[in-house]
Amino acid sequence: MITTRDIAERLGISVSTVGRALADDTRISEETKFRVRQAASEMGYVGNRAARMMRGASSNVVGLVIPDIRNSFYSTIAHELSKNMEAQGFQLMLSETDDDRTVELRHLRELSANRVAGVIIVPTARPHGDSVKLLRAVPHLQLLRRHPSLGSQWFGVDDHEALRRATAHLVAQGHTRIGYLGGPVELPTGAERLRGFRAALQEGGLPDEAGLVELGPPSSTEHSRQAVRRLLDAPSPPTALVLGSVQHTLGVLEEVARLGAKVPGELSVVGFGDEPGFSWWGPGLTTVGLPVQEMATGCALWLMRRLRTQPENDGPYTSVSPGSLIERGSTAPPGGRQRTRRGGSSSGGE
């Protein structure tokens, strides 16, 4: 490993002069700084960040802790955050928890041990007590999900309103039996989306029984495939579906295509998120659009301000972004009997 001593020997100057030149010390001439930086670049010198951290400095790394990188919402957020952080001289480090709080704790311990500058986290439903303690010592904010034990700085989506609008769209078309596939109520996003779904039914004058609810892991396409089969095999299946996660949407679209159900003739579908393929899936998927870029930029700017100003006591901060309903061809008024096809046979009911 090339050291400052190697650079000093090559240039015939002291080690302290090299160190000051690399730190842009005003006591060093611009000519010497140029010579030192040029030599450092040619020799492949890398600054010893570990040594600086031992003296109490934090790194220039920001941790992003998310449940599932396969979800395009999180991968897009990671991409946008990385670009914003890099522009400010920071590097993003990605950790995936699979919604397991023990894995979440392990990642947070590693991030803390490496003295990250800050953390952006999509928390699990019940963060471990040690995770709470670790985050108290690190500037951090919560993204999408919010848990009261992790502080009061949060960037999220108005999940209630997004699902209320999506469901109201189907109610306005005349659907009176609507299925909902979403995340568990233990997750704040799952609870708010379910609440929005039920609010739209109530506002439309429909009874609670008009909503057929299937809840499960939001990252599981297998759960959504099984759930939609149960709904469509019911004696009185729904004529429309509202979905509460990107992965649930992907699973349902795969299963609906496999069963051969006609969309929207037999079944109307409103998805969640706007994956690149949703616009050309079948007749085009009506879906809830999410302000991903705006949220990522907001998170990055807030955290950069926090790291630079380093306030002793952070007050509560909440940023709620609205979703949007993107209307395409996958919804229409109910068209009669609902049928699903398995191996050439049909089953269903009114």
Q: Where are the alpha helices (DSSP H) in the chain?
A: 4-11, 15-22, 30-43, 49-54, 72-87, 101-113, 129-136, 159-172, 188-203, 221-232, 246-259, 292-309
Q: Which residues, including other chains, have CB under 8 Å from residue 277's CB and lie 6 or more apart?
A: none
Residue with tokens 């993003």: 92
- At residue 337, the pLDDT reads 42
Q: Alpha-carbon distance 24 to 225, whole Å? A: 59
Instruction: Enter the tokens of residue 144.
Output: 């999408």
For the stretch 208-242, pLDDT in tens is 999 999 999 998 899 999 999 999 999 999 999 99
Give percent of the chain above pLDDT 70: 91
- At residue 312, the pLDDT reads 57
Residue 317: pLDDT band with limits 50, 70, 90:
confident
Torsions phi, psi for 109 (to 5 deg) = -65, -45
Residue 254: pLDDT band with limits 50, 70, 90:
very high
**Amino acid in position 349:** G
Burial 209-225 (b: 16+ CB within 10 A, else e): ebbbbbbbbbbbbebbb
Residue 187: pLDDT band with limits 50, 70, 90:
very high
For the stretch 100-133, pLDDT in tens is 999 999 999 999 888 899 999 999 999 999 999 9
* Residues paired with residue 266 on neighbouring β-strands, in sequence order: none
Residue 349: pLDDT band with limits 50, 70, 90:
very low
Q: Looking at the predicted structure, is the pLDDT value of residue 348 above 80?
A: no
- At residue 311, the pLDDT reads 63
Question: Is 201 in contact with 305 (CB distance < 8 Å)?
Answer: no
- At residue 341, the pLDDT reads 36
Q: Alpha-carbon distance 174 to 333, whole Å? A: 6
For the stretch 274-286, pLDDT in tens is 988 899 999 999 9
Q: Alpha-carbon distance 346 to 350, whole Å? A: 13
Average pLDDT, rounded, for the chain:
87
Closest CA to 290 of 272, 271, 302: 272
CA-based angle 333:338:344, to the nearest 5?
135
- At residue 310, the pLDDT reads 67
**Which range is least confidently modeled, 117-126, 130-139, 285-294, 329-338?**
329-338
Torsions phi, psi for 296 (to 5 deg) = -65, -45
- At residue 343, the pLDDT reads 35
Question: Is 245 in contact with 323 (CB distance < 8 Å)?
Answer: no
Query: What is the end-to-end Cα distance of the chain in Å, rounded?
Result: 74
- At residue 313, the pLDDT reads 55
- At residue 58, the pLDDT reads 55
Question: Is 65 in contact with 97 (CB distance < 8 Å)?
Answer: yes
- At residue 121, the pLDDT reads 96
Q: Looking at the predicted structure, is the pLDDT value of residue 175 above 90?
A: yes
For the stretch 70-83, pLDDT in tens is 888 888 899 999 99
Question: Is 288 in contact with 164 (CB distance < 8 Å)?
Answer: no
**Amino acid in position 44:** G
Q: Looking at the predicted structure, is the pLDDT value of residue 19 above 90?
A: no
- At residue 306, the pLDDT reads 85
Question: Is 268 in contact with 332 (CB distance < 8 Å)?
Answer: yes
Q: State the maximum Cα–Cα separation within the chain, in Å, rounded to a whole number.
A: 89
Higher-confidence residue of 268 and 138: namely: 268
Q: Looking at the predicted structure, is the pLDDT value of residue 53 above 60?
A: no
For the purposes of burial, counting CB atoms within 10 Å of the CB of 276, is it exposed (0-12), middle (13-18) or buried (19 or more)? exposed
Q: Looking at the predicted structure, is the pLDDT value of residue 297 above 60?
A: yes
- At residue 242, the pLDDT reads 98
> In this structure, what DSSP letter does residue 152 have?
S
Give percent of the chain above pLDDT 90: 61
